[in-house]
Every structure is written in C-alpha cells, then in structure tokens.
Amino acid sequence: MCENDEIIIYIAADVGAVREQRLADCLEDYVKRNKLVFPSPVEVVRDPSRKPRANFKEIQFSVSHSGGIWVCGVSGRPLGVDVEQCRENCMAERIARRFFHPEEYRYLERLNFSTKAFFSLWTAKESYVKYTGEGISDLYSSFSSVEAGKLAGEINGIKYRHFPIKEGYSFCVSSKAARPVTFVSWE
C-alpha cells in the first residue's frame, strides 16, 4: 500500500457519460500529488465481479453519485464513500424496517424518522459496505452504525465519518482508521 494515509475526496457535478474519464483524471491527479511512480499508466480495470479498481494495489478508490453530485475518494489504503441527496418523503420508515439493524430502526423511530438522521445512517452503512466490498444485501441489517442510542462512528472496527459537502446532502467516508481528508472540488 501507499505510504500516504491521506484520503483525497474529489467532488464534481455528476458527469454522466464521462464518469470513467473523470475517475481516470482523479487517479492521475492522486498519482501526481503523491509523486507516485509506476511502470505503466494507472488504469481502471474490473475484477471478476466487475467491480472497478486501479491496476496497481497501491491506489484504492471508491465512487458515489446522487442528485447531480459525483464523489470519488482515493487513498493508498482501502476506503468506502457514499453521498446521498437527502430527499423528503423517501419512505425512511419502510426502508429502515427492511434494511436496517433493529437498533438503527429504534434510533430513527426515536427521531421520528428524520430525513437527516435516516441519510446519516444510510451513508454510514453504504460507505461501510463499499469499504468491505460486500454491497447491499440481506446482510445489511446484520450490522449497526448505532450504539447506545447514538451514531457509533464505527462498524465492526471500521471508522466512519460524515463531512458536509453541500446543503441537502449526506456524505460519509469509511476507512480502517480516521485518516486526514483533503477535498478537491472539480467544476
């Protein structure tokens, strides 16, 4: 893995059809910022499950997009990112009942299924499963981002942190340890 533990978060307007090129640009910028040298250009490849990854293990990334925002986290160590536009009337209670751990459901119930609380939980869980590579599945309710009635800041030993990136959005980063985060806005 890369010596640099910093996480760089690239934020841009959702780039639709050119997402792959934007991702390649982020990886190239990360290589330049960290003065990394590889025997060939860094490229995005697909693993057997079709998940995108860099062709060098020293570069890890995670991508998310919602409501017109595209986010890419890049680091020398595994990470997961998720961004969600916080939409009212998102069926929070129904989704929480189906996908969330009972402790998370009780937490949201106590907060009247507040949109902000719901999306804070959702982005914590989503960034965690992106970190682990598991994705959303029936196991989504088997782990909790809530402990003792509040956001725990970690799931199964993996730290998660929320950062404000734009009004009306929830954004979360999961990583093994709380590492420095730098934001780069690309418009």
Domain-by-domain residue ranges, the chain? 7-186
Model-level pTM? 0.92
Tokens linked to 35: 């003065």
Contact 172, 160 (CB under 8 A): yes
- pLDDT > 50? residue 1: no
CB 71 within 8 Å of CB 15: no
Residue 180: burial class (beta carbons within 10 Å; 0-12, 13-18, 19+): exposed
Read off the DSSP letter of residue 158.
E
Q: What is the pLDDT of residues 72-118, one digit of tens each?
A: 999 999 999 999 999 988 899 999 999 999 999 999 999 999 999 99
Q: According to CATH, what is the number of the domain 7-186?
A: 3.90.470.20
- Give 40-71 pLDDT, tens digit per residue: 899 999 888 778 889 999 999 999 999 999 99
Closest by alpha carbon to 117, among 105, 99, 126, 101? 105
